[in-house]
Structure 1
Amino acid sequence: MVNVMADASKPALSRSLSGLHLWGIAVGLVISGEYFGWSYGWAAAGTLGFLVTTVLIAAMYTTFIFSFTELTTAIPHAGGPFAYAYRAFGPLGGFVAGFATLIEFVFAPPAISLAIGAYLNVQFPALDPKLAAVGAYVVFMGLNIAGVTIAATFELFITVLAIFELLVFMGVVAPGFSWANFVANGWSGENAFSLGSVSGIFAAIPFAIWFFLAIEGAAMAAEETRNPTRTVPTAYIAGILTLVLLAFGTMIMAGGTGDWRLLSNVNDPLPQAMKIVVGENSGWLHMLVWIGLFGLIASFHGIIMGYSRQIFALARAGFLPPAFATINPKTRTPVKAILAGGVVGIAAIFSDSLIEIGGLPLTANIVTMSVFGAIVMYIMSMAALFKLRVSEPTLARPFAAPFYPVFPAIALGMAVAALVTMIYFNWLVFCLFCGLFAVGFLFYRFTADLRDNAEEDALLETAQIEARTLAD
C-alpha cells in the first residue's frame, strides 16, 4: 500500500449509529435463523440429538462473542474479521478471513430470500417463491442504498417486531405443547449413545450454527458507530443472550406441537407448527406469516448491509476491484458493493442444478455453504486474537476477553471441530467452497498492484509496516 493517507475530501462512511442500533443489527442479522433453516437439523439428528448440538454450538458462540468483542473494540473497522486477520497475519491472512466472511455473508441472503418466498407462498399459493426472493433483493438493496441511518433504524424496528412475533408464537402454541411429542423419535439412532445418534449430532452442526450465524456482522458497522469502544460490548453481549433464549424457546415449543418430523424439511416450520395447534384458518396463523416475515426481512436486510461493508473494505484494501470501494457522495453508502453481492445472491437462487447436491434441498446447501465461510472466519478471528496478544501487547483493548485464554481457546477448538465434522458430512459442498476460494486466491495472487496502490489505513498500519519490512 502506498504511504499516503486517505483524501479527506472523498466521501466516507457515516459515523451515526447508536448502541441500540448496533444491538438491532446484531440480533436482526441472526433472527431469521429462528424462523427457518434450523429444522433441517431435526432431519439429521432428531429433536433430542439436535438439542445436544444446539447446546454445544450455543457454548461456542457465547465464548466466541465475548472474545470477538475484544477485536471489534480494539480495531473498529468496516472489514471486521478481515481487518483483524490482516493486522495479525498480514495480507494472506487478511485474504483468508476476508474471503471466508464474504462467502458467509453473500450466501446467507439467498437462503433467507427463498424462505421469504416460502412464507409469502403460504398466503399466495400462485406466487413463485423464487420471483418473490428476487423482489426482496430489489427492495432491500434499495433501502440499504438510501443511507445507513435509515437502514439501521428500519433494522431496529423490524427486529423488535420479529422478537415480539417469536414470543407470540411460543404463547399461541403453548396450549398444544407436549414434552412427549418433543422426545418421540428424538434420536436419529436407537438411543442417545448409538452410532447413528452421535453421527446425527455432528451432521446437524450447520443447522445449529444457523441459529446464531452472522451475529459477528455487527462488527462491520463498528466504523459507522458512535463511540464503538463502549457501545459494541453492550450490543454484542445483549445480542447473544437475546438470541440464545429465542433459539431454545422457539425450537422446543415448535417440536412439542405434534409430529416434529413433518417440520424437519420445510422452509417455514413455525407457520406449519402453529397450523397443527390452531388450524389453517386461524387469524393467529395469518398474523404469524405476515409479522413473521419481519424476522426474515431483519436478517436479510442486515446481512445485505454486512456483505456490502465487507466488499467495500476488501476493495478499499486492494483485495477486490477498487470500483467497489467507492462511496456515493449523497447517501454515503457503498452502492456498487451492495449491487455486486445482490447479483451473486440472485444467481444462487436460480442455481438448483449446481447447489442442490448431496440429496439436500437448495436452501439447506446454501445454508451449509454460508456456514463453511463462517467457521473458517471464526477460526481466523480467534487465531488473530491470540497472535495480537503476543505481537501487540500494548494495543488498546477497551474490552478484554474474559477468562483469557480459556474463552477464546474454547471457541477456537469448537470451531475447528465443527469444520472437520462439516467437511466429513458435506464433502460436495466443501469442494464447491474450496473452488470459490481457489478463484478468489487467483485474483489475490495476480493483483498485488491493487494492494500496493491502495490508500494507507491507520487501523491496519502495523501489519502494513511489517509487510513492507519483510519485502525489503
Structure 2
Amino acid sequence: MSETGTGYRPVGKDYFDRRGLRRYAGVASLWALGVGAVISGHYSGWNLGLLAGGWGGFALAAVIVAVMYLCLVFCIAEMGAALPHTGGAYSFARASMGPWGGFITGLCENVEYVLTPAVVVSFLATYLSAVFETPPAWLPLYWLGCYAIFIALNVRGVELSFKVTVVVTVAALACLALFWITALPVADFHRFALNIGAGPDGKPVELPQGGGPLLPFGLYGALAAMPFAVWLFLAIEQLPLAAEESLDPRRDMPRGIIAALLTLLVSAALIVWLNPSVGPGSFKLATSGEPLLDGFRATTGGTLAKVLALVACVGLISSFHTILFAKGRQIYSLSRAGYFPRFLSITHPLHKTPHVALLVGSAVALAIMFALWFGMGAESGAAAIQGMLLNMAVAGAMLSYLAQALSFIVLRLNRPGLDRPYRSPLGIAGAAVTLVLALATLAFQLLDPVFVTGVLGVGVWFAIGIAWFAAVGRHRLVLSPEEVFALEAERSVAE
C-alpha cells in the first residue's frame, strides 16, 4: 500500500494480451480525429448562446474561448508527446498529482466523453426528423439506430475507424464550405445578425428590421455566452487518447492537434459570421435545433435545403463517430489500470478494439437520454434535453481542463528534465490562462439557473465515481504503461 492509500495487484500473463491495441494513425488521421470530433459544434449547439449575449456578445465569447483552447492545446501537445499513453488527461494527472489526481481527472473526462456523443446524436436526430418530416416521438429511434451503426463501425477495427473519420471529416468541412459560398452573396449582417435587442425587462427581444447593438447585454452577456461558445471547440482535447494507436505519437500528436485547432478556428469564425447573417437571423437561430439547415433554407430554398441538410448530417456523424472512439479509449485506459472495473478494458479478440467499453459507455448515455426524455417529458422538446446534456458535458470538460492545465504546471515545475519532444511556446503562462478562463466559464454555468441543474448532475456522477474508487478501485490498481511511467517518475524525483 502506498502513502496515497492505493495498492497494486498482480495480473496474469494474458492480462495485457486481452487488452491490446493496434497502431495505425499518422498526422492526417490525427488531424481528422481532432476536427471530426468538434465539427458538429459548427452545425448545432453554438447558436444557443446567441440569446445570452446577442451576436456581438457571443462573438466576443467565442474569441475568449478560442484563446483558452489555443493555450490548452499547446499544453496538451507538450504533455501528449512526452507521455504518449492512451490515458490522455488521466495519465498527465497521474504522473503529476498521483493516483487520486489521475482518477478525478479521468472522471471529469468520463462525464464529457460519455455525454458529448449523446448531445451530438440528439442534434443529429433533430436534423433527420426535419429532413424526413417524422414526428418528435420518433427521435429516440434515431438515437438507438445511430448508436447501433457507429458502435459497430468502431468495433470493426482502428483502420476502418480512421478511414471513416478522414472521409466524413473532409465531407463535413466541404458541406460547411458550400454553405459559406452560398451565404456570402445574400448575407445581410446588419439586418439579420444584429436583430437581438434588450427589452424593458432586460430580456432579449427580436428587432424586425435589425440594426441592434453589438452588445445588447453588455460585457456580462458576452461572459454568460462562454459556456455555449465552448461547443465550437469542445472535444479537440481527445487526441492523446489515440496515442497508443498512433504510429509516432511523440512527433505526430503535436502536429495533428495544432493543425486541427487551426482548421477549427477558421471554420468557427466563418460559421459565427455567416449563419446568423442570413434569414431567419440571430433571434430565431438561437432556439433552433438545426441552424445550418435554417441557413440553407435561406440561401438555397426549401427543397434543395432538405437535400443539403441530409448531406449536412455528415458533420454530426463525423463528431458522433470520433467521440465514440474517444469514449471507448478513455474508459478502456482507466479500466486497464484498475480505476474502473477491469472487465471494461477487454478488447475484441479479432479487431483489437475496446468493444466492452464502447457498449457499456453507450448504454449509460442512452439510459440518461431516456431518463431525461421521460422525466422532462417528450412535450418539453428536444431542445430542453439537448440543453441539459450540453450543460453536463461542458461542466465535465471545464473541470478536466482545469486538471490538465494544473498537470502541465506541476510537470514543468517538478519534472523539468522530462523528455519533451515538443514544448509549448506559451509555457506556464499559457496553462495559467487556461485555468482562469476555464474557471470563468464554469462560474457562469453556476450563475445560470438552467446550467446549474446540469452541473448538479455532474456532481452526482462524481459522488458515485469517488465512492467506487475510495471503496474498491484504489486497492485494485494495475501496472499499466501509465502507472509504470508515473511510479518510475516518482522514484526518480525521490532520488
TM-score (normalised: structure 2): 0.89
User: Who is 1:447 aligned against?
Assistant: 472
Contact 2:68 2:437 in 1 (8 A): yes
| Cα drift, residue 404 of structure 1 | 1.4
Match of 1:105 among 97, 103, 113: 113
Instruction: Spell out, residue by residue over 1:273-321, the C-alpha distance to the aligned partner (whole angstroms, 9 max, x if none).
Output: 221233212x2x1332122111000100001110111111111111111
SS in structure 1 opposite 2:22? coil
Provide the rounded CA distance (Å) in 2 between the counterparts of 1:336 and 1:17: 22
Question: Using the alignment, how far apart are the partners of 1:55 and 1:453 within structure 2?
Answer: 44
Q: More displaced, 409-418 or 99-108?
A: 409-418
User: Per-residue displacement from partner, 1:372-420 (whole Å, max 9, x unpaired)?
Assistant: 0100000000100111112222211111111312222211221122112
Q: Does 1:318 align with 2:357?
A: no
Contact 1:187 1:197 in 2 (8 A): no
Please give the per-residue CA displacement for 1:430-450, whole angstroms capped at 9, x wherever unaligned: 1111111111111111014xx
Corresponding residue for residue 171 of structure 1: 181
Correspondence for 1:414 among 413, 437, 445: 437
Question: Is the 8 Å Cα contact of residues 181 and 255 (structure 1) preserved in structure 2?
Answer: no
In the TM superposition, what are the counterparts of 1:46-445 in structure 2 within 5 Å? 46-126=54-134, 128-186=138-196, 196-258=217-279, 259-281=281-303, 283=304, 285-350=305-370, 351-352=372-373, 354=375, 361-425=384-448, 426-445=451-470
Q: For 1:146 and 1:72, locate their aligned partners in 2 and report how far apart those are by CA, in whole Å.
A: 26
Corresponding residue SS for 1:438: helix
Q: 1-side partners of 2:339 and 2:11: how far apart?
A: 18
Contact 1:43 1:264 in 2 (8 A): yes
Aligned mates of 1:299, 1:56 — CA distance in 2: 23
Which residue matches 1:457? 480
1:416 partner SS: helix
Distance 1:424 1:464, change over 3 A: farther
Letter in 1 for 2:115: F
- CA drift of 1:344 comes to 1.4
Deviations 1:61-81 (A, max 9, x none): 111101111111111111110
SS in 2 for 1:210: helix
Change (3 A) 1:217 1:187: farther
Distance apart, 1:203 and its partner CA: 2.2
Asked whether the 8 Å contact 2:127–2:290 carries over to 1, the reply is yes
| Count of aligned pairs between the two proteins | 464
- Further displaced range: 107-116 or 417-426: 417-426
Q: Which secondary structure does the structure 2 equivalent of 1:39 belong to?
A: helix
- Contact 2:38–2:232 (Cα < 8 Å) also in 1: yes
In structure 2, runs of 5+ residues without a counterpart are 1-7, 203-211
Give 1:452 shift: 4.2
The structural deviation recorded for 1:260 is: 2.1
Is the contact made by 1:176 and 1:277 (CA closer than 8 Å) also made in structure 2?
A: yes
Q: CA contact under 8 A between 1:50 and 1:208: conserved in structure 2?
A: yes
Normalised to the residue count of structure 1, the TM-score between the two structures is: 0.93
Q: CA deviation at 1:206?
A: 1.7
Q: Distance in 2 between matches of 1:354 and 1:455?
A: 39
Query: CA offset at residue 453 of structure 1?
Result: 4.0
Q: Which structure 1 segments of 5+ residues have no match?
A: none
